Structure 1
Amino acid sequence: MAPSHEAAVTQISAAVRAFFTRRESFRVFHGSTNSTRPGHTGRVVDISALSNVLEIDQTSKTAVVEPNVPMDKLVQATLAHGLIPPVVMEFPGITVGGGFAGSAGESSSYKYGYFDQTVKGVEVVLASGEVVKASATEKPDLFKAAAGTAGTLGITTKLELGLIPACRFVKLAYHPYSSVRETVEAVKRETENPENHYVDGILFSKTHGVVMTGKLTDEIPPSQKPQTFSGSWDPWFYLHAEKKSLQSRTSDPTVDHIPIAEYLFRYDRGGFWVGAEAFKYFGNMIPFNKFTRWFLDDFMHTRMLYRALQGSDMSFGTMVQDLSLPYDTAEAFIDYTDEQLGIWPLWLCPLRGVSPPTFHPFHQSEEGKPQPMLNIGLWGAASKDLSTFINQNRDLEARLKELGGRKVLYSHTYYTEDEFWALYDKKWYDGLRESYSATTLPSIYDKVHVDVDKVQNEQKERLGRSWISWLMTCWPFPGIMGIRNAIRSGDYLIHRQPSWTYWKMGSLLTAQKVDGKKVVPVTATTTTTATATRVEIGGS
Structure 2
Amino acid sequence: MERTLPTPALTAGEQRLLDSFAAIPATQRVRLAKRTSNLFRERTRSSSPGLDTSGLTGVRVVDAGTRTAVVDGMCTYEDLVAATLPRGLMPLVVPQLRTITLGGAVTGLGIESSSFRNGLPHESVLEMDILTGAGEIVTATPDNEHADLFRGFPNSYGSLGYATRLVIELEPVLRHVALRHIRFHDLEALCAAIGEVVSTREHDGEPVDFVDGVVFSRDEAYLTVARHTDEGGRTSDYTGQQIFYRSIQHDDLEPRRDLLTTHDYLWRWDTDWFWCSRAFGAQNPRLRRLWPRRWRRSSAYWKLVALDQRLHVSDRLEARKGNPPRERVVQDVEVPLEHTAEFLHWFLDSVPIEPIWLCPLRLRGERTWDLYPLEPGTTYVNVGFWSSVPGGEPGAANRAIERRVGELDGHKSLYSESFYSREDFDALYGGDAYAVLKATHDPHGRFPHLYDKAVRHA
**TM-score range with shorter-chain normalisation?**
0.7 to 0.9
Q: CA deviation at 1:438?
A: 4.5
Q: CA deviation at 1:389?
A: 4.3
Q: Which residue of structure 1 lines up, in the alignment, with residue 238 of structure 2?
A: 229
Q: CA deviation at 1:6?
A: 1.2
Tell me the amino acid that sits aligned with residue 384 of structure 2: G
In 2, the alpha carbon distance for the partners of 1:97 and 1:147 equals 10
What secondary structure does 2:51 align onto? Answer: strand
Which segment drifts farther, 327-336 or 348-357? 348-357
Matched, 1:15 2:20: yes
Q: Which residue of structure 2 lines up, in the alignment, with residue 435 of structure 1?
A: 440
Q: Which residue of structure 2 lines up, in the alignment, with residue 63 of structure 1?
A: 69
Q: Which residue of structure 2 lines up, in the alignment, with residue 276 of structure 1?
A: 278
Tell me the amino acid that sits aligned with residue 75 of structure 1: V
In the alignment, which of 7, 14, 34 is matched to residue 30 of structure 1? 34
In 2, the alpha carbon distance for the partners of 1:33 and 1:401 equals 27
Distance 1:207 1:439, change over 3 A: farther
Tell whether the 8 Å contact from 1:83 to 1:165 is kept in structure 2 after alignment.
Answer: yes
Q: Which residue of structure 1 lines up, in the alignment, with residue 317 of structure 2?
A: none
Q: Which residue of structure 1 lines up, in the alignment, with residue 3 of structure 2?
A: none
Matched, 1:293 2:288: yes
Distance 1:206 1:38, change over 3 A: closer
In 2, the alpha carbon distance for the partners of 1:38 and 1:433 equals 21
In the alignment, which of 103, 106, 110 is matched to residue 100 of structure 1? 106
Q: CA deviation at 1:133?
A: 0.5
In 1, the alpha carbon distance for the partners of 2:384 and 2:444 equals 33
Q: Which residue of structure 1 lines up, in the alignment, with residue 423 of structure 2?
A: 418
Which segment drifts farther, 301-310 or 314-323? 314-323
Matched, 1:250 2:253: yes
Q: Which residue of structure 2 lines up, in the alignment, with residue 336 of structure 1?
A: 346
Residue deviations 1:419-478, cap 9 Å, x none? 211223211111111222345121111111146xx9xxxxxxxxxxxxxxxxxxxxxxxx
Matched, 1:308 2:313: no
Tell me the amino acid that sits aligned with residue 245 of structure 2: Y
Residue deviations 1:307-358, cap 9 Å, x none? 1111101696321100110112111211221112121111110011376553
Tell whether the 8 Å contact from 2:372 to 2:429 is kept in structure 1 after alignment.
Answer: no
In 2, the alpha carbon distance for the partners of 1:423 and 1:173 equals 36
Matched, 1:116 2:112: no
Matched, 1:213 2:225: yes
Q: CA deviation at 1:43?
A: 4.7
Q: Which residue of structure 2 lines up, in the alignment, with residue 49 of structure 1?
A: 55
Tell me the amino acid that sits aligned with residue 336 of structure 1: W
Structure with more helix by fraction: 1
Tell me the amino acid that sits aligned with residue 327 of structure 1: L
In the alignment, which of 189, 197, 200 is matched to residue 193 of structure 1? 200
Matched, 1:175 2:182: yes
Q: Which residue of structure 1 lines up, in the alignment, with residue 320 of structure 2?
A: none
Paired residues for 1:393-412 under 5 Å: 393-412=398-417
Q: Which residue of structure 2 lines up, in the alignment, with residue 358 of structure 1?
A: 370
State the percentage of identical aligned residues.
Answer: 27
Distance 1:120 1:238, change over 3 A: same
In 2, the alpha carbon distance for the partners of 1:38 and 1:415 equals 18
In 1, the alpha carbon distance for the partners of 2:404 and 2:420 equals 12
What secondary structure does 1:156 align onto? Answer: strand
In structure 1, runs of 5+ residues without a counterpart are 280-285, 455-540
Paired residues for 1:491-506 under 5 Å: none
User: TM-score, length-normalised on structure 1?
Assistant: 0.74
Tell me the amino acid that sits aligned with residue 223 of structure 2: V
Tell whether the 8 Å contact from 1:236 to 1:270 is kept in structure 2 after alignment.
Answer: yes
Figure out how many residues of one structure are paired with residues of the other and give that number. Answer: 427
Tell me the amino acid that sits aligned with residue 291 of structure 2: L
What secondary structure does 1:46 align onto? Answer: coil
In 2, the alpha carbon distance for the partners of 1:3 and 1:360 equals 30
RCO greater where, 1 or 2, for CA within 8 Å and sep 6 or more?
Answer: 1
Q: Which residue of structure 1 lines up, in the alignment, with residue 46 of structure 2?
A: 40
Larger Rg: 1
Tell whether the 8 Å contact from 2:12 to 2:55 is kept in structure 1 after alignment.
Answer: no
In 2, the alpha carbon distance for the partners of 1:113 and 1:32 equals 26
Tell whether the 8 Å contact from 1:126 to 1:438 is kept in structure 2 after alignment.
Answer: no
Q: CA deviation at 1:2?
A: 13
What secondary structure does 2:177 align onto? Answer: strand
In 1, the alpha carbon distance for the partners of 2:339 and 2:361 equals 15
Q: Which residue of structure 2 lines up, in the alignment, with residue 375 of structure 1?
A: 382
Tell whether the 8 Å contact from 2:108 to 2:157 is kept in structure 1 after alignment.
Answer: yes
Tell me the amino acid that sits aligned with residue 156 of structure 1: A
In the alignment, which of 428, 440, 452 is matched to residue 446 of structure 1? 452
Tell whether the 8 Å contact from 1:173 to 1:213 is kept in structure 2 after alignment.
Answer: yes
In 1, the alpha carbon distance for the partners of 2:8 and 2:430 equals 39
In the alignment, which of 125, 133, 137 is matched to residue 139 of structure 2? 133
Q: Which residue of structure 1 lines up, in the alignment, with residue 329 of structure 2?
A: 319
In structure 2, runs of 5+ residues without a counterpart are 1-5, 202-206, 315-325
Tell whether the 8 Å contact from 2:134 to 2:444 is kept in structure 1 after alignment.
Answer: no
What is the aligned-residue RMSD (CA, Å)?
Answer: 2.6
In 1, the alpha carbon distance for the partners of 2:44 and 2:346 equals 37
Tell me the amino acid that sits aligned with residue 29 of structure 2: S
Tell whether the 8 Å contact from 1:26 to 1:40 is kept in structure 2 after alignment.
Answer: no
Q: CA deviation at 1:38?
A: 6.0
In 2, the alpha carbon distance for the partners of 1:292 and 1:417 equals 46
Distance 1:236 1:13, change over 3 A: same
Q: Which residue of structure 1 lines up, in the alignment, with residue 319 of structure 2?
A: none
Which segment drifts farther, 202-211 or 8-17? 8-17
User: TM-score, length-normalised on structure 2?
Assistant: 0.87
Distance 1:356 1:63, change over 3 A: closer
In 2, the alpha carbon distance for the partners of 1:191 and 1:59 equals 29
Distance 1:155 1:402, change over 3 A: same
What secondary structure does 1:44 align onto? Answer: coil
Q: CA deviation at 1:19?
A: 4.6
